[in-house]
Amino acid sequence: MLNINLLAFAYLLLNLIRRALLTFTPSQSTLAWWITAVYSNDVGQNFSSIMPLPFQYWIKHYLAFFLCLYLALQALQGLLPIPIVVIGLFGSILLLLACIDWFYFLLPNPLTYLLMVAGAISSTSLLGVDTMNIFLRCTTCYGVLRVIQGVYYLFRHKVGLGSGDVKLITALACWFDLYQLSFIILLASMIALPICLLQYRGLRSLHTVIIPFGTFLSLSACYCAYLFYNDFLIFF
């Protein structure tokens, strides 16, 4: 039963990620994006468009709803471990942020705030972290990054660290302590440097290059979540 629930949960998350990416536009409001992702038809041709099936409309538009209801009941009965749900949501939000930042150089505030709220709730309820500890992490992280951002702009007269990256790192502070967070930033920088050097190797100067650092932060955070919180995977 656990394997079936995990497969259903993985299918639900992947389907939601796919629909969110297909319907995202930078100029769209959050509410409009959500409505479009829920009610839009699938892009492209699939087996259902080649061979119409009975109740095709119900299958396409209400499968995700019934899966959510089914998985919620399974979680209440203890047949779908809550830590697995938390890890799945954490990875899904970061994957969305990574893809959007890579293509649009943008980190949507609603996703970042959702990651922050989910991290605060998960850390207090599952990890037993004190609420004040999380608050101090976030304020310290945000303050230090803002100072670095301001000093860099003062000397170079350009933005070195985007506001979206600052908010994303602050949101990750709800999930990780400062030591773990420093490792995430270091790993993201190590991944970003060779990729950007290969991508922009034909340019004489890299000072004008814009790097989607949120993409590398998200990938690094996914790996570090497995590295630091692999105890959650004992349910497998």
Q: How far is CA 188 from the centre of its chain?
A: 15
**Nearest 5°: CA angle at 95, between 80 and 102?**
175
Question: What would the pLDDT profile of 188-200 be if each residue is shown by its tens digit?
Answer: 999 988 887 776 6
Residue 143 has pLDDT above 90, yes or no: yes
Q: Are 137 and 174 in contact (CB under 8 A)?
A: yes
In this prediction, residue 43 has a pLDDT band, given cuts at 50, 70 and 90, of very low
d(CA 122, CA 174): 9
Q: Using a pLDDT cut of 70, give the percent of the chain over it.
A: 82
Q: 216: burial class by Cβ within 10 Å (0-12, 13-18, 19+)?
A: buried
The tokens for 216 are 């590398």
Has residue 46 got a pLDDT over 60?
A: no
Residues 91-100 pLDDT 10s: 999 999 999 9
The two tokens of residue 175 are: 């999930």
Q: What does the pLDDT read at residue 25? A: 86
